[in-house]
Structure 1
Amino acid sequence: MSTATPARAPHGDLPTGRRPAEGRVGAGLFDPGQLVRSLPEAVRKLDPRVMVKSPVMFVVWVGSVLTTVFSCTDPGDWFGWTISAWLWLTVLFANLAEAVAEGRGKAQADTLRKAKTDTVARRLTDGREERVPGTGLAIGDLVVCEAGDVIPGDGDVVEGVASVDESAITGESAPVIRESGGDRSAVTGGTKVLSDRIVVKITTRPGETFIDRMISLVEGAARQKTPNEIALNILLASLTIVFLLACATLPPFADYAGTHLTMVVLVALLVCLIPTTIGALLSAIGIAGMDRLVQRNVLAMSGRAVEAAGDVSTLLLDKTGTITLGNRRAAEFLPVRGATEAEVADAAQLSSLADETPEGRSVVVLAKERYGLRERHEGELAGARWIAFTAQTRMSGVDVDGREIRKGATASVLDWVRERGGTVAEDAEAVAGRISAAGGTPLLVAVHDERGAPRPRRDPPQGRRQGGHAGAVRGTAPHGHQDGHDHG
């Protein structure tokens, strides 16, 4: 088995009114649209070459054909037509259950394909930049990626350092730092550069990227029958043969007793006796087992792997960072050293206007929704000097009206405060520690004004904080914990 974290949209409420369990990908078990999309496949499975793979349902299919033929010879026999209709519905519903289960597996590959967008690469040739399709890149090509660009292919950073959003590919909620040299130089095609500029050397051919391999894994998941499934199939087939022989002996006994049994009645009796329920759902149950693992972000490559997963009680993942869905969002402002939440929110919003990362934008939204602070734009503040977030400084901010406001990673903001002769509030680091211990990443907001030295504030989004006079911002991620890659 291999683990995978497909990109998914935030969960909506399930039709039952309940939300998916924490850490689980919503599967949409009774999605009407999925049923409609699966109907054509269910009809195609009525092909006898497909039906013969399931002995029990093949017997039902043969019975459906026979009852339909006999009903056609006597069009006025409503009983025969009723039995025929029920038998065809039985076969169709069995195929529909299997088609729905298979369709949910195919949806995983479709989700990955959406992340594989056609990009235009900015290739460097002899120092000149030219735009070429991402599919036209070869191993060894150098491409330039700046803030807002989608990296066209897998490769290594050979120049520069940047903050990269890998949430759509790896599930990492926080942007990660990628730089030339060392063990943080590898980048994945389909990820997005959030800040700065990097030069990437392509290391894979088109069609062999990380996303392509993931799609191949999902589509190539073998629906091989497990030993238990094979044994159950043999049992069901044996029972079917026994009941078939039993029904075959009834006409002679009926003739001897002076009673005539029609073929329609015998077929109806046979279908009632054989284990059609288990036979119809056996294949769907196996596929559903693989799908349940996918809901837990685990890709099962075979039915045998599903059975093995049932014996697993402890799972160890060698993963530094966070497996989660989507980007983190600011959730709360926490003031320290006498500052108010409103002051922290105002400073955090101002310092986030030049921060184009998803987390920075979420701080602006939180300040607007919770404290009614109108979203201001850079052009509205005359004489303001904006400091954009970069991977090197790990801070963003603004100098306006005699104040210097900075928001960013805890260590970066504290260094900025000390460089200007400021003091750090005693409770600031304690608040940051509590946020980190709870799975969050604290960000600080600090303000340096004309009245004196800078004072740190904390601004924690559930999983992140920021600093200002004295306050913090707390942020949340849709599912999972956070690590310290966001701004620090």
Structure 2
Amino acid sequence: MKTSFRERVISVTGMTCANCVATVERTLLKLPGVEEATVNYASERATVRFDPAEVSLDQMIERIERAGYGVVRGQEGVELTEAEAITRDEEIAFQSRKFWTGVAFAGPLFVLSMFRDFGLLGSWANDSWVNWLMFALATPVQFWVGWDYYVGAWKSLGNRAANMDVLVALGSSAAFGWSAMVTVALTNGTVVFGTHVYFETAALIITLIKLGKLLEVRAKGETGAAIRELLELRPNSANRITESGEESVPADEICVGDVLLVRPGERVAADGSVIEGATSVDESMLTGESLPVEKLDGAPVTGGTVNLTGAFKMRVERVGSDSALAQIVRMVGDAQGSRAPIQRTADRVAAVFVPTVIVIGIVTWAVWWFGTEADFTESLMRFVAVLVIACPCALGLATPTAVMAGTGRAAGRGILFRSSEALERARDLSVVLLDKTGTITRGQPTVQSVVSDEEVSLLGGADEYVRLAASVEALSEHPIARAVVEEAESRLLDISAVEEFKVIPGQGVSGRVEHRSVAVGTSALMTHLGVEGVIEWTSRAEDLEAGAQTPLWVAVDGRMAGLIGVADAVKETSVAAVAALRSRGLRVIMLTGDREAVANVIAQEVGINEVYAEVLPSEKAQVISQLKERARGAVAMVGDGINDAPALAVADVGMALGTGTDVAMETADLVLMRGDLRTVSEALALSERTLRTIEQNLFWAFFYNASLIPVAAGVLYSVAFLPTVLRSLHPILAALAMAFSSISVVANSLRLRRVRIPGLPSEN
């Protein structure tokens, strides 16, 4: 029996570093029926592929919670995103309270400790009660502000996977516990443990790391701002037209089939089509296109766009999760929650990071205690510094924060990446194949010529065979078929019913109209059907092709009746788009099912040197597979996402040109919503910049840990010319450095939301 797998996104809270990601993944994968589980630290989402017959969503949530993490309750899509935003706001408020509580106690404690150490206070400062005062100030910080670290450490050890909480809890507890022992001993009149206490060190470690956590939560929220901005496009209410008149209703109550009135300045509340009125609409928030789009009777309108000029009525066709806006939010969320291949190295390091740091800390303490003249407390502080300065968070944040910021920036330009893997592959392209119709050309072919010969024609005139051809083509969804139908309508010809209608893929259509056998398509179709007179019409077809017209061969009752020349104008932006791709060193190829002569004329017009013409839809995938074997890099296919579905699926990167509402193109890795070929180059520029940011983040995360952990261990102690702060790194400075490390990675990723990227036009 075939297994029916489902995919579900679960929002997970309480993760503190990359090790938590691995723990949640392992926890889910242990459940029977879970085939795949991918957790993203920055977006705090787990994407799970599972068999609902073996495991339920409640079971997965229960197992995550048993592992010590929280789950945001809510349905998928928009509702889950809104619930996550509320949870994040609550987390920021919680972390803020913790931090300011830490400041309230650690601040006076630090001042008291420093003043005493520098002899700025009287002899009373050395009395034992002062140590107890310090103990009293440090205890709330250690066990209330820092309680999260103890809970997290305990649960992570229970899961047999040490995380950052273990390092913080162990390091701060060592300083606090030793100081408590010294305080008790001094009160009892013994100096067996020395006289110096480090309460301020323990308190400031927790407070500074809590500051880093607070800033990290806020910054992670910023990387996901693209989804929030999309959600804000939804209006709260709409004007619904009923039999009794107009009423204002909440947007959530709108149903398919409702008629809405949209006034100038209002946002469209749902997807649908104009049924009365004319206007212009601002679609820039969805497509990145700043120019208004004219909307006449029958034109599609998308929820979230802004009506600019005239009032109009619309009929609702899609609401809720079926709307274009909801699909965009879901697609951006999927991309931001996925894991890029470049993250794998960081994941492997993170898996052994914390245990390795603990071992380094113990070795550091042992070397300083047994191998030098340092006393126990100095050796202990080296141990604490090593634990506290280590930062697995930076490793976990390096890739996902950049992916979230980069895909969010792309969404603002009307470029939707389906996954971070597609984002990464787009940087490695060497070949780009472009479909002709609808990609390079407008995709709106029109009839340019009607060629007939009264001596050969069986019908006595061009109008009659155009009428018959249009009758058959009326049942086809191909753009060229629509052009023939529109030509017949412009000639005021009646379209008749068709019997025995057949579609011959890549060749044309046939059927019976008024007891006549009619075939419309390529010369290959005519030959296949054994039509008479094909040879006599060949030179005329070649004349049409020389003028960039695609000849449609029309046969009636087994004999040639005429030719219909159809042309599709090249988009104004195609020449610049091809030039931009070639300037990147890419090999640009046209891949089309059209006649070779027509394809060559169009290719020459836009600057393409290589053409694969007369390729059937089923053969396009084979061409791409062959190119992938020979290409030095990845191969991309750009098409309309419907007729080119097999080719898009086979390509390393499939790009579908949309129209602002065509976002549900399942086979495409990227959806370019503007329908503008120049956005291919924009997508590549964004991919390059995002991957460069990831590499910068990973370099910083590895460099930080590889260089500062040895400094904390004291390897520079014997270098006399260095300042003391580097030769003997204090745990407080180590905690500050650790907090800075995470924030610097997130801040670098956030630059993607604002930095000027070469290749992108100015954003309005």
| TM-score, normalisation: structure 2 | 0.32
| TM-score, normalisation: structure 1 | 0.47
Between Structure 1 and Structure 2, whose CA radius of gyration is higher? 2
- Which has a greater percent of helix? 2
